[in-house]
Structure 1
């Protein structure tokens, strides 16, 4: 909605809010880890950059809407039918625990990894999501449920590759993953699979600097390596 608004006022207000949150969350003293508020403010700054970029690239907004419609339409319908049982709302609530952003970020990585062997992507994505959720100690999900969601989402998304190209589709999935993630600062799959490549691609320097202050040194090294040491 912000990106589609022809007026920049609301976008600037969102950026001002993120700047205020950053200023209100002081840097850690000594060897302490950055606070969760400071991490959230850094990712909010990055999100503001993405929204501004989308405002200048309306074609990508439409692609993001298309992918979002796939998730909220046929994917949810299939999951409700097979796994909703008598309490579909409860099943949906469990999926709200970083599942959708997991799916998008991992799909973006898989598209690059398997660009020549597309049929392997659903199996790879399903396995990767199951492993990452276990590592991050997120609420457990049945593997058949994850597999069904991935396969149902993948078919229409795969058809977009011929129309938009692999790079545009990856960018679409990555941006949507960041925008819908409830807390990118606490979600490693989104940090590595979406935020990092987007930061390399064209995020404002101030946002990159803030991310570097709150994320681990190894993550920062990968970011700077992708920027050619800039």
Structure 2
């Protein structure tokens, strides 16, 4: 059995922007804190997110107004303006999760296989997991399984490349795209994700070329994600249930990535459909910020996206 990798940094779980510098390679980056805020009894955490996003947007505007440097594009499209727009969007996604408990539960389930270490026993944090519990964790979690199959040294190297290239949120974004495109054709959806992740084009994040020699690991990572998706679907473990997870996969990718300005797949296959989908109820103020920050994606008012959370 591979050695269980523990000690995932709490600041990674709460991170609001890259880079990720811990052993999760970005797989646990940011999303657990987003879910915790969505599940909290009080909405104080959500209100804090909204205030921070508004402050970031105002600060970006002030920075631009105070600058005497010549700008090649409007301030909203500069780095800080784009980050502030995404920050506002993430706050509205968390608000959506607070309203829609089914979406929250499904997103949490989709996220579980991406965890890298077993939580301590809440009843007795000093109790170490039994060998059987460790084995069960490895069986049901993607990165521990990769460690068992390829060895710690190999996966440590892979994870360093993965966090630089946004690998895990790219995998989620491509999975959401494929599940949406190949309704009820699970194997085709899986192979389409493999094809996307093992190719290089201009839409891939920076650093993707360094991952391409790891095609065997990439293929197995996709295989394991698609193995776990039906288990995460509400109502059973039949593969057709996995197609219910398009929206949770989109939400998880957004919470995990936090920098779609450098990640076209997350922006196109996750952020935009959520903005367009009515039930998400993204505020008009936030939509306006996104239109200003990312005009190539929202130059026109949203026209609607197909489907919705099951």
TM-score by length of 1: 0.87
Aligned to 1:198: 274
* SS of corresponding position for 1:7: coil
SS class of match (1:45): helix
For 1:176, the equivalent position in structure 2 comes to: 252
- Tell me, in whole angstroms, the C-alpha distance in 2 between the residues paired with 1:223 and 1:138: 33
Match of 1:32 among 73, 78, 87: 73
- Displacement of 1:132 in angstroms is 5.5
Aligned residue number for residue 93 of structure 1? 160
Partner of 1:136: 205
TM-superposed CA distance for 1:168, in Å, is: 4.3
- Cα distance in 1 for partners of 2:287, 2:197 equals 27
Stretch deviating more after TM superposition (53-62 or 105-114): 53-62
How many angstroms does 1:182 deviate by? 3.9
Q: Does 1:41 align with 2:113?
A: no
Q: 1:225 aligns with which of 303, 306, 309?
A: 303
Q: Are the counterparts in 2 of residues 39 and 211 from structure 1 also a CA contact under 8 Å?
A: yes
Match of residue 149 from structure 2: 82
Contact 2:230 2:242 in 1 (8 A): no
Which residue is 1:5 aligned to?
40
Report the structure, 1 or 2, having the larger helix content.
1
Matched with 1:105 is 173
Please say if 1:189 is aligned against 2:265.
yes
Tell me, which stretches of 5 or more residues in structure 1 are unaligned?
none
Deviation at 1:58, TM superposition (A): 2.0
Between the aligned partners of 2:225 and 2:181, the Cα distance in structure 1 is 18
Q: Contact (CA 8 Å) 2:53, 2:88: kept in 1 or not?
A: yes
Instruction: Tell me by how many angstroms 1:52 deviates.
Output: 0.7
Question: What's the offset of the Cα at 1:117?
Answer: 1.7
**TM superposition shift of 1:143:** 1.4
Conserved in 1, the CA contact under 8 Å of 2:161 and 2:207? Answer: no
Distance 1:225 1:53 in 2: 20
CA contact (8 A) 2:190 2:222 kept: yes
* Separation (CA, whole Å) in 2 of partners of 1:8 and 1:153: 32
Q: TM-score when scaled to structure 2?
A: 0.66
Name the CA shift for 1:30/1:90 in 2 (closer, same or farther; >3 Å).
closer
Contact 1:132–1:189 under 8 Å retained in 2? no
Q: Decide whether the 8 Å contact of 1:101 with 1:177 is kept in 2.
A: yes
Cα distance change of structure 1 residues 42 and 125 upon mapping to structure 2, 3 Å threshold = same
Deviates more, 1:161-170 or 1:67-76: 161-170
Count of aligned pairs: 226
In the TM superposition, residue 93 of structure 1 has moved relative to its aligned partner by 2.9
Task: Check whether the contact 2:109–2:232 (CA below 8 A) recurs between aligned residues.
Answer: no
Partner of 2:192: 124
CA distance in 2, matches of 1:171, 1:51: 13
Unmatched runs of 5 consecutive residues or more in structure 2: 1-35, 116-139, 306-310
Cα pair distance change 1:129/1:86, threshold 3 Å: closer
